[in-house]
Structure 1
Amino acid sequence: MKRIGVSALALAAGLSAAHPASAQTSQPSAPAAQPPVEAQPGSPAPAAPDPSGSLAIEVVGQRLDRERAEIQPSLGATRYDFSKTAISNTPLGENATLNQVLLRAPGVVQDGFGQIHVRGDHGSLQYRLDGVQLPEGLALFSSILSPRFADQLSLITGALPAQYGLRTAGVVDITVKSGTTNPGGEASMMTGSYNWLQPALQYGGRSDKFDYFAVGQYVSNSIGIENPTSSTAPLHDDTAQWYALAKLTALVDENTRLSFIGGGASARYQIPNVPGQVPAFTVNGISDWNSAILDQRQWEDTYFGIASLQKSYQDFNLQLSGFARYSKLSYQPDALGDLLYNGLAPWSQRSSFAVGAQGDASWKIAPSHTLRGGFLVQRERVTSYSQNNALPLVPDPNDPTALIPGTDPVGFTDGSEIVGWTYSVYLQDEWKVTPTVTVNFGARFDAISGQTSENQVSPRINVVWEPTPQISMRAGYSRYFVPAPLNQVGFGSLAVRTGTTAEPENFQNDPVKAERSDYFDVGLTVKPLDGLTVGFAGYYKFAENYLDKGQFGAPIQLASFNYANAQVKGFELYANYDKGPWSLYGNLAWSKVSATNITSAQYNFSPGDLSYIGNYWIAADHDQGWTGSAGAAYIFNSGSEWATRVSADMLFGSGLRTSIVTPNDTSLPAYATLNLSVTQKVPISGSKGTQIRLDAINVTDGIYQLRTGEGVGVGAPQYGMRRAFFVTLAQKF
């Protein structure tokens, strides 16, 4: 039997040993060097050299890992890989949030609330754990996944092959740690500025045919959300969070593996205050209030589970998975303050429960052809309930034809429940036309039912040409279908607000539709020297019903809406060098997002903005022209028990959009932040490994604003973190 060994996924991993982002064109499958002892599919495992058979079991597990990767290679797309060492080189290392690590990839833009944008899209990121797509949740401030969970972390962008759909701005592909890749335990504690405390614990191992791994961390600090002012100490911004994940795998035989991944995250946030604000309303005779003592809070909880069966036989590989995810968001207002400043105090809760199944398979039907196909079925139920206080609109005593806000609050409730289904199937062929040219072509079909019922057939094609082992060129086209999140506001929720200060300026609320787009991508990767990789990527997207999101009032959550048409274009330049004790990387990206005519959820916008955007193209609020990052790391005494790693890291942004005269007409000032890290190994007798880490964030203490609170769908001002210092002690056992 001819083996397809290491896929593009595995090949990419070798390029990213110690730099924050290794970018390359994903390559067609290639034969791999075989380990000294390996069980072939469909045949008995070779005799293990050790009496317990543990080595043979480990080799079978490694082979199944490669074959799982072979089911879903990212052929023709652009892939940015972060190994465990690369993650360690980024500021705060594994203690950082997932989005902070992803910011080191080209074309990833920083936004408020800890959010990121990839290649001109607002959201639309897909997260996969060991190849299984995780349903989108409701959390805004918190990421339910942590770099601490990842043995390998990748961001896949560009013209995606047919196995990737529904969320297409980028695929965050996480290979979860296991007891084999991370045996033993490790405890760590990070502390520092903003009263930061972050303990973490992980443990993994293997017993006979069972592999187990578990990890958890707790985070407490006084800057849970970006500071709305430029001060060094935000007001009322405490947070307490925990994250956890466990993974268990069992080898049934040399060709069959069962696995289970379960995890969750729970976070509590205070909403930070801006002092000196003047109330917009009078409540029970009160018209003066200190905005610095407002007490608004938000809770975010998410739990998920994935069970998978992987089967390999000769040239056929299959993974079947079932998954479930529960997500809940709760908001508690300041009973008086919300009325004084917003005219609405909502005690609200939203929850979502999604369950589904996913299957993916590959079959090498001929030496030059590998067929791949799969399906996804998902059911999601979203419920929403809100108990509200608002002020009534009463006749103006000076003008009986006009209405003004009253001063005595009135209450009303609203709620909704909606069930949505998603169905997806795909089929594609990897055709090795010549030894240097590979064509991957196919299509997928997606259908949804919920607030709308829509479907689309989406053709995909990628061509990869490798004239030499050092040069790779690609071109690709993908038709995309991106459904809107199910948690939308219905017309009934608007109707109950009539006659109060919660009443919208207009009641137009056309349903949010799925985005449909044509995406073109080209790229070049060159390796001129040993350890050096440089590359270029360019892309263009034309979209109908372009999806965007905005934060409209409280609770602090994002609501989707459509532009009738949008154009997204840009390019990325990147380079990295990794050899010996040195690791260097740098990238620069440019993008432009233009959109026109808001066609859904119009009640969120003023009539003036709707009219202007209906007649002119505007920049999207998340559009940032130039984005860059760079970093360097050097290891002194590499390989010794006293090894010291020193690294420096920089992020640059030309500024997101704000509104001065017309919607989103101006960019905020450009900014750059410098971060420094030192990691020192400390040999202690009887210890399996002790490490001390120091991090300095924004060492120049630059003041930079991410948002002004103005712009289409922008709800609050936000500033980047001021200078901060952290120390981490980690102990292996």
Structure 2
Amino acid sequence: MAAPQHHNAPSVPQKPQRHVAAGGSARRARRTAAAPTTPGSAEQTQAEAVAGQNARLDQARGNLLAADGANSYQMSRQLLESLPQGTNATLDKALLQAPGVSQDSAASGELHVRNEHANLQYRINGVMLPDGVGAFGQIIDTGIVGSMALITGALPAQYGLRTAGVLDIQTKADAFNNSGSIGVYGGSHGTFTTSVDYGGTIGQTQYYVSGRYFGSDVGIENPTPAYNAIHDRTDQEKGFAYVSTAIDPTSRLTYIGGVSNGNYQIPNNPGQPPAFTAFGISNFDSALLNERQQEFNQFNVVAYQKSADGLDYQIAYFNRYSQLHFTPDPVGDLVFNGVASDVYRQSTINGIQEDTSYKLGFAHTLKFGFSVSAERSLVNNGSTVLPLDDAGNPVDAPLSLFDSSTNTGYMFSSYIADEWKITNQLTLNAGLRFDQMWQYVDANQLSPRISLTWKPSDGTTFHAGYARNFTPPEQVLAAPTNLALVQNTTAQPAVTANDPVLPERSHVFDVGVTQKVYAIPGLEVGMDAYYKIATDLLDDGQFGAAYVLTAFNYAKGINEGVELTATYNHDNLHLYGNVAVARQVATNVVSNQYLFDPDELAYIANNYVYTDHAQALTASVGGWYQWHNTKFSASLIYGSGLRDGFANTGTVPPYTQVNVGVSHDFNIVAPNKPTTVRFDIVNLFDSVYQIRDGSGIGVFAPQYGPRHGFYAGITQKF
């Protein structure tokens, strides 16, 4: 199915749910990945053999990590290319078309899955990417994605740590036919991007490289409703490399690497009243502030995979380096906020992940594995503040303070599970997972997982599951703050409690069904309901001018919701629609209490409040129509509004954003090397809406959705 597919993930080893190619089938991967230049040549035969072997290993890897009994919403390469803006759009914008995914500002993490803050796991070809330190950097370029699945619900035992959802990305499988593409794209708001990629096959080795530059005058959401933002330029570069070598007919060695570098101006909100006098200045124009942020990320994965005689396994070494530096306006921030903080965060993670699957006859498949990692983190905060006199009034005598926290933390996880095919229609998956963290806090948990998948007839799939989850905080977000440094200064908090950030522990229940509607060929519908009870619910917020997040815990949390999905595919018409109704509430802040005002902290201690990222109703609708070499596409997102006001008791107004696009392939160079020209309109009706209004828990400034923009581009395959 070319449009997004909403599957429960039954464990059928010979038919994995994971897509290994753009259209979702291993057979198509074998057709497209081996397209040669000379039909019938030895080069063609060799390339086809290598492509076929890699397709089989892709399928085995899909079986190895199949999300048995969970929700799996598939998004093919064709879908990503068919959305307005195509692969020029960032990955988070494409994910807004999945069920239960709501939009947020860059400062708050771009998006939320099932109303969770962060807690989203990214995997590339089965290997989990460790957390970075960035607030809004997008390390993965949409152009490298062959297919991806958003896995939610009661996850099987092989998935842990980040459990709100797993974004399982499979790299392009049809990119190794000694060809490539180059493209340019741009338009409104000073937007310009250029990209190039190339892939080929040499002997037993497949390779693919890509690079992209992106620049725009709206790098972060505008804090005002104006069409043009003030001081909001961004320049970003990304690179990606993939190399896979067949060692023998049953094994391969793969390298995956990526790098991203982004520089951002922090947008200004004019007309803000100064609150302090610093360096003799008491009247500062907020439109002239000069705050900046730089983010750098790099990851590397080396994986060995073996598949033979019912035994499949993959062992991978992974590494990630991440760096963030927020530079304040040294005078302006002090005048408006009473503190100007220069924030630097750095993290280096190295680890090993191993996954094994072994078939014990027809009925049972045993799965087990482990991961171990070490992280070295550094968090520096150099602040300029004003001292307070005996009466508590600020004195214009700025002084500098420096707070630093370094830590080497470790994570260990292991799991074992049995996939029991009770009948041809009924599969039970049961497992145990153990997680141990040694960070600022040491903790562990043994987590049972169990799910049932029932397929009473072709086209009907039921699933139900339970998962006990253990979610550690990101180490850099949990770094302690030395409050003694800021006593008797304008950075002194009203609350002095500063308990350490704890891991979250939760119970998740999930049940769902998908059904093909045979009365309407091409139509598939689905429903999924979930309920989560959490202890020490993790949350993050921006509690100052720096665009960085700080973690804290609620003592108790409840997250519940229902998602409805539908896809329709008939000839050249592809449509999809998703609606999610959700609710997340929590009570009693039990860590980093100093981040809150006393009145708000007291209210939350005695009441369940909505989390700031809780949205009651989220929807997405879209599709495309292919007419000869021309493709027409449209997408829509709707949100009932995120929370705002004192203790999140209010809601910003609802919004709708519509995007449209058209593309056409010209056969100028050669029939199989099209020249693609596209034109897109973002926010067709120029709907002016707020994502945030500057109030609410952990919300520092207002942010507006994108104003309408007109974009055009051309891509040439070679």
Shorter-chain TM-score: what band?
Answer: over 0.9
Q: Quick one: distance in 2 between partners of 1:72 and 1:490?
A: 33
With over 3 angstroms needed to count, the CA separation of the structure-2 counterparts of 1:489 and 1:422, relative to structure 1, is closer
Q: Is the 8 A contact 1:37 1:56 kept in 2?
A: no
1:389-410 alpha-carbon deviations (Å, 9 max, x no partner): 1111113xxxxxx211111211
2:443 — aligned with what? 454
Give the AA of the match of 1:652. Y
Give the AA of the match of 1:189. V
Q: Quick one: distance in 2 between partners of 1:685 and 1:183?
A: 16
Cα deviation, residue 35, structure 1 = 6.6
Q: Is the 8 A contact 1:178 1:211 kept in 2?
A: no
Cα deviation, residue 130, structure 1 = 0.5
SS in 2 for 1:535: strand
1:176 — aligned with what? 171
1:526 — aligned with what? 515
Q: How does 1:293-312 map to 2 (within 5 A)?
A: 293-312=288-307
Aligned mate of 2:536, from 545, 553, 561 = 545
1:27 aligns with 2:10: yes
Q: How does 1:18-417 map to 2 (within 5 A)?
A: 19=3, 21-31=4-14, 53-113=46-106, 115-178=110-173, 180=175, 183-395=178-390, 402-417=391-406
1:44 — aligned with what? none
Cα deviation, residue 234, structure 1 = 0.5
Cα deviation, residue 36, structure 1 = 13
1:634-691 alpha-carbon deviations (Å, 9 max, x no partner): 1112xxxxx10001111100000001xx411111111111111101111214471100
Give the AA of the match of 2:420. W
2:21 — aligned with what? none
Query: Relative to structure 2, which stretch is displaced further, 81-90 or 228-237?
Result: 81-90
Aligned mate of 1:602, from 593, 597, 616 = 593
Q: Is the 8 A contact 2:176 2:208 kept in 1?
A: no
Q: Quick one: distance in 1 between partners of 2:670 and 2:420?
A: 55
With over 3 angstroms needed to count, the CA separation of the structure-2 counterparts of 1:635 and 1:285, relative to structure 1, is same
Aligned residues: 694
1:8-65 alpha-carbon deviations (Å, 9 max, x no partner): xxxxxxx3x1x2x321211221545997999xxxxxxxxx995753322221111111
Q: Is the 8 A contact 2:84 2:662 kept in 1?
A: no
Q: Is the 8 A contact 2:177 2:201 kept in 1?
A: no
Q: Quick one: distance in 1 between partners of 2:668 and 2:27?
A: 34
1:657 — aligned with what? 643
Aligned mate of 1:561, from 539, 552, 560 = 552
Give the AA of the match of 2:87. E
Query: Relative to structure 2, which stretch is displaced further, 684-693 or 434-443?
Result: 684-693
2:411 — aligned with what? 422
With over 3 angstroms needed to count, the CA separation of the structure-2 counterparts of 1:75 and 1:212, relative to structure 1, is same
1:267-312 alpha-carbon deviations (Å, 9 max, x no partner): 0000000001111101132211111010000000001100000012
Q: Quick one: distance in 2 between partners of 1:187 and 1:547?
A: 43
- Report the identity percentage: 41
1:694 — aligned with what? 679
Q: Which stretches in structure 2 are left out of the alignment for 5+ residues?
A: 16-24, 31-39
Q: Quick one: distance in 2 between partners of 1:268 and 1:168?
A: 30
Q: Is the 8 A contact 1:180 1:206 kept in 2?
A: no
Aligned mate of 1:666, from 637, 650, 656 = 650
Query: Relative to structure 2, which stretch is displaced further, 406-415 or 719-728?
Result: 406-415
Q: Quick one: distance in 2 between partners of 1:489 and 1:138?
A: 11
Q: Quick one: distance in 1 between partners of 2:478 and 2:578?
A: 40
Q: Please, what TM-score do these two structures have when normalized by structure 1?
A: 0.93
SS in 1 for 2:482: helix
Q: Is the 8 A contact 2:258 2:300 kept in 1?
A: yes
Aligned mate of 1:577, from 568, 574, 598 = 568
Query: Relative to structure 2, which stretch is displaced further, 680-689 or 622-631?
Result: 680-689
Query: Relative to structure 2, which stretch is displaced further, 686-695 or 567-576?
Result: 686-695
SS in 1 for 2:270: coil
Q: Quick one: distance in 2 between partners of 1:53 and 1:647?
A: 38
Q: Please, what TM-score do these two structures have when normalized by structure 2?
A: 0.94
Cα deviation, residue 362, structure 1 = 0.3
Q: Quick one: distance in 1 between partners of 2:305 and 2:547?
A: 40
Cα deviation, residue 606, structure 1 = 0.8
RMSD: 1.7
1:75-126 alpha-carbon deviations (Å, 9 max, x no partner): 1111111111100122211011111011000100100116111112101000
Q: Quick one: distance in 1 between partners of 2:428 and 2:100?
A: 26
Q: Is the 8 A contact 2:29 2:173 kept in 1?
A: no
SS in 2 for 1:199: strand
Q: Is the 8 A contact 1:109 1:624 kept in 2?
A: yes
Query: Relative to structure 2, which stretch is displaced further, 444-453 or 682-691?
Result: 682-691
Aligned mate of 1:614, from 605, 609, 633 = 605
With over 3 angstroms needed to count, the CA separation of the structure-2 counterparts of 1:340 and 1:182, relative to structure 1, is farther
1:494 aligns with 2:483: yes
Q: Quick one: distance in 2 between partners of 1:483 and 1:193?
A: 41
1:634 aligns with 2:618: no
With over 3 angstroms needed to count, the CA separation of the structure-2 counterparts of 1:183 and 1:589, relative to structure 1, is farther
1:646 aligns with 2:629: no
1:479 — aligned with what? 468
Q: Is the 8 A contact 1:330 1:348 kept in 2?
A: yes
With over 3 angstroms needed to count, the CA separation of the structure-2 counterparts of 1:153 and 1:488, relative to structure 1, is closer
Q: Is the 8 A contact 1:385 1:415 kept in 2?
A: yes
